[in-house]
Amino acid sequence: MTVSLSTVEDKTRATIGVRLFTVLAWVPERRALRRVHSSHPHAYPVGGEKTVEVAAGWLERCITGQEPYFGPDRAAVREIFADHELIDRLGCGAVINVPVVDDGRTLGVLNILDAEGSYDDDSVAAARSLAPLAVPALLELLEETR
């Protein structure tokens, strides 16, 4: 039984809290991120794709380096995300992006956002510990799209 991405969202909410939660699958052939789960489907619909207009440093860190990105405040969110105005309107001013990695391969990213000041280094560590829960669901989705 595969843990659903909704279950990963619920566990994240219970562990560190979240206002906006999305999961992006990494599509290396197109250097794109495809949204496969969203807590706010009207603002961030499933199926939406980002051909990485996010900052190059973010891509290097999360996708290539497989390290989380932590943006503790609105300035950090604004610096990285082109859609920072929508993020702000949803009441989010802090972000944790955690790569989902399986056997050395980046499958995608958990995007965890809440109000400015909601997260700290302990939150990042907790989020990182939740990322492996998304591996089976992302592997299943990747199989379906091949």
pLDDT tens sequence across 40-69: 999 999 988 876 555 668 888 999 999 999
Q: Hey, what are 87's tokens? A: 């993020």
H/E stretch holding 122: helix 121-130
The DSSP result for 22-34, as a single string, is EEEEEETTTTEEE
pLDDT digits (tens, 9 = 90+) for 89-122: 999 999 999 999 999 999 999 999 999 999 999 9
Enter the tokens of residue 83: 């859609």
Per cent of the chain over pLDDT 70 is 93
The per-residue pLDDT for 110 is 97
Q: What is the pLDDT of residue 107?
A: 97
pLDDT band at 1; cut points 50, 70, 90 = very low
Angle between helices 5-15 and 121-130 (to 10 degrees): 150
Tell me the mean pLDDT in the region 28-50: 89
Distance, in Å, from the CA atom of 16 to the CA atom of 53, rounded to the nearest integer, reads 28
